Structure 1
Amino acid sequence: MTPQRYSLGSIVLHWLIASALVFQIVFAESLEGPRGPDLFARYQLHKSVGITILLLSLLRLAWRYIAPRPAAVPGPKWAMTLSSLVHFGFYFFMIAAPVTGWIIVSTSKIKVETLLFGIVPWPHLPVPASWGEPAEFLHHFMPNVAIALLVLHVAGALRHQYLLGTPILSRMLPGGKGKAIGALLTAAAIMLAGLVLAKVVDPKGATPPAKAAAVPAEQLSAPAPASTTPEPSEEAAKPNETAEATDEAAQPRDWAVSKGGRLGFTARWNGEPVEGSFTRWTADIAFAPEALDASTIEVSIDLASVDTGDGQRDGTLTGSDFFDTGRFARATYRATRFRAEGGNRYRADGTLTLRGVAKPVPLSFTLDIDGDKARARGNASIDRTSFGVGQGDYASTAEIAGPVAISFDFRATARN
């Protein structure tokens, strides 16, 4: 027998897709403005909801042919033809809109990894770049088509429910009979929920608050602190044979970095600080305050371990426009010249090699030694453009500033 109402699966899928479409169309208004962490986060949510609509629509289409459904409501030929066209238009839109968006992302010059809701990786389509422009035109035009289809669909449902006396709404709602106002209110509440959510949701692209070793934003382009070591007196400047003998005999100590250290960075994206760190790095340290001339530090950084608190942004950073980890898996920093700057403060003059480019980078740090234990904290500033970090649209410093602050904080144990 032909059922009088749609199955529960059809009902759930219908209203999930309907509310998601309303959300997506209204939320698209927020995808304007200067590029930055917040806009990036909004685009990621927009992509995630779009792919979700695509998957739900394909499931709904399959369900349509599996689960029995009520017979079509009889009426004039023009009305039945228009109803069929509207339903076909909806299915076409629900599939074509996310697919064209998927094509736009896949053909973009700036490759941004897609993680659905920041969790599930989603691949790019293997389509030619020439598909990008027509897909973008269709994608931006389709919301107007969707609004027109929605108006026709709602008008048709209300016509049957309240003018012709056909309880059509109750077939697609958990409750409501005949001309009951409850059916209309339930449908309106579901759609309103999608609209309100699109207006109030505000995915944040900014990273979590700064950790202990992070450098404040105002220090991003600040020079290394000047030495405040007092000028030596004439008495202190006289040769000290014992001290000279000690210095000549002194050797640097080898240090093993303890777990829990942090190597971080802070960049500015449209004025907003974006913080990150590298979770995998090693350091070979031979250092002693009394043997600076013989001291050395060499740090090796696994660039693929970058963590900014956003998986999609991390995927972009490891791509060819930024670190290009497929060609340059590691960055290295080597310092062999050190200078004491008074108290526990030191300056290292070393070389950073990043993306195959080697540039001198001085860094300032403090070192507190207690027997065989030590703690080092410091910072430096580099110009990302000098290393080619940021290609294509990202090469400009109008959005992503050139200076990037580097900071570190770790503990170590002496091996000798």
Structure 2
Amino acid sequence: MSVETYNRYSRWLHWLIAGLIIFMIVLGWRLEDEDAGRFARFQLHKSIGITILILSFIRLGLRLAYKAPPEVEGPKWQMAAAKAVHWGFYVAMIGLPLTGWAMVSASPMAIKTVLYGIIPWPHLPVPASEQTHDAWVVAHGLLAKLITYVLIPLHVGAALKHHVIDKDNTITRMVPGLTPVPLLNWRWIVPVVTVVAAVVAGALVFRGEKATKTTLTPAAPMAQEAAVSESEISAVAVSEATLPSASAASTQTTMAVPTWTVNKSASRLNFVTAFQGADINGRFSDYKADIRFDPESLDRSSIRVVINLASVSTDDAERDNTLKSESFFNIAAHPKATFEAKSFAKTGDDKFIAKGRLTLNGQTKPFDLPFTLKITEINASRTANVTARVELDRLDFGVGSGDWASTDQIPAKVKLDFTIRATALK
């Protein structure tokens, strides 16, 4: 016996895949936009692509398992075209994810794929080279153009022609009850919502701020956290006049250098780099700091900060895993970064340089850290607000090996932006 509509599983899967394809088309148009969300869009594009691949195989299985409604009678050329478009969609729906998967697998950069930041996904056994990668890029692009500019317009145009002009049951096989007359039928909600939701989501998801040339000026929230409030300033009356005299300083040298306790909730160890022209903002959340510092006793001051590199976060799980890998921080072999300084110089009002050594990725090199220090006193305690901004050449420490050593994708200079708030007893 013939059936009038596709089975319910095929119908819902049809609209789900249709929505995902439209979403991917709109998202694909935005992949090259140089803003802060670019990397995240690429990762989502890969995840949705694999999802479409799996759903397409399920859809094909349902097509073979359940009886389909009979073909709509018409001219032979029209029926042949309909069949060609139908199977063309299967070729594109399966071919697009496969060529995208091969493209990622063939990339010399060997970026790992983690679906939705949760499920590790293997690479295909294809040669990894620029030539192979570029060939898959061309194939992926051709299939994308085929489905966007040929298959979808033909499919939608033919469906509407059948519904509005021919007034047959072509569309109703996928939307049961959608009669040609009247045209305004509430069941249009399925295709309309699918298309609108996919377009809006594709246009807005992971929309970041437009990439701009980053300066070392701290972000407003950080500046606010590091700043001393007006009430604190008025309470302690910090000014040049309150600095100890030379005689008082000489007496102070006999006193112990204060030990400072870092308030991590009000402190930040941030960095800024870029990938393909789009800024990437990151931070380290786990670190230990041993700070013994007195601006009047620089010769007896010392700083030692140990950072747990596994605590790196750029708000993208896949990118963070790449940073932890052998190609970058190599945390399996060198889980910590350490900065130690016992030599300091005053360069201006509230401005100092810590002349120390930085150990990163198993390499130790001299590293100077300029910083600004503001100290306020309230009752029996002192509060220090420190801001430090400097550039670090990642290649000096072997961070970014192999193809990542190239500065075409990621610049050599990484901007460090630290804000530290600490307290000490008087």
Question: What range describes the TM-score normalised by the shorter chain of this pair?
Answer: 0.7 to 0.9
Indicate the larger mover: 132-141 or 57-66.
57-66
Letter of the aligned partner of 2:178 in structure 1?
Answer: G
Identity of aligned pairs, percent?
31
1:137 aligns with 2:138: yes
Deviation at 1:335, TM superposition (A): 0.6
Q: Deviations for 1:141-178, whole angstroms, at most 9, x for unmatched residues? A: 10232243334434554565466653121110143125
Alpha-carbon separation, structure 2, partners of 1:257 and 1:293: 22
1:301 to 273, 291, 307: 307
Distance change in 2, residues 1:283/1:308 (3 Å):
same
* 8 Å contact from structure 1 (residues 301, 331) kept in 2: yes
Deviation at 1:326, TM superposition (A): 3.8
Residue ranges of structure 2 left out of the alignment (5+ in a row): 212-217, 227-239
Residue equivalent to 1:221: none
Residue equivalent to 1:197: 200
Deviation at 1:298, TM superposition (A): 1.0
Distance change in 2, residues 1:244/1:154 (3 Å):
closer
Query: CA-atom RMSD, angstroms?
Result: 4.1
| SS in structure 2 at match of 1:409 | strand
| Aligned ranges 1:381-392 → 2 under 5 Å | 381-385=390-394, 386-391=396-401, 392=403
Residue equivalent to 1:23: 23
Q: TM-score, structure 2 length as denominator? A: 0.75
Residue equivalent to 2:125: 127
Alpha-carbon separation, structure 2, partners of 1:195 and 1:143: 17
Indicate the larger mover: 138-147 or 57-66.
57-66
Q: Deviations for 1:248-293, whole angstroms, at most 9, x for unmatched residues? A: x433344443442433234254887543221111112333445432
* 8 Å contact from structure 2 (residues 30, 203) kept in 1: no
Letter of the aligned partner of 1:137 in structure 2?
Answer: V
Q: Deviations for 1:114-149, whole angstroms, at most 9, x for unmatched residues? A: 4555x5444242423255344222111102322433
1:40 aligns with 2:39: yes
Indicate the larger mover: 350-359 or 338-347.
338-347
Alpha-carbon separation, structure 2, partners of 1:271 and 1:151: 34
Residue equivalent to 2:11: 11
1:166 aligns with 2:168: yes
* 8 Å contact from structure 1 (residues 215, 379) kept in 2: no
| Aligned ranges 1:145-224 → 2 under 5 Å | 145-146=146-147, 147-154=149-156, 156-158=158-160, 160-161=162-163, 165-178=167-180, 180-182=182-184, 189=192, 192-193=195-196, 196-197=199-200, 200-201=203-204, 203-206=206-209, 210-213=220-223
1:410 aligns with 2:386: no
Indicate the larger mover: 252-261 or 84-93.
252-261
| SS in structure 2 at match of 1:166 | coil
| SS in structure 1 at match of 2:24 | helix
Deviation at 1:76, TM superposition (A): 6.7
* 8 Å contact from structure 2 (residues 271, 414) kept in 1: no
Letter of the aligned partner of 1:378 in structure 2?
Answer: T
1:61 aligns with 2:60: yes
| SS in structure 2 at match of 1:211 | helix
Q: Deviations for 1:361-381, whole angstroms, at most 9, x for unmatched residues? A: 223231536445543412030
Residue equivalent to 1:317: 323
Q: TM-score, structure 1 length as denominator? A: 0.76
| SS in structure 2 at match of 1:334 | strand
Q: Deviations for 1:35-93, whole angstroms, at most 9, x for unmatched residues? A: 55343344334334323322332332343345554344456766555544432321221
| SS in structure 2 at match of 1:47 | helix
1:335 to 333, 341, 344: 341
| SS in structure 1 at match of 2:221 | coil
1:359 aligns with 2:366: yes
Residue equivalent to 1:224: none
1:251 to 240, 252, 256: 256
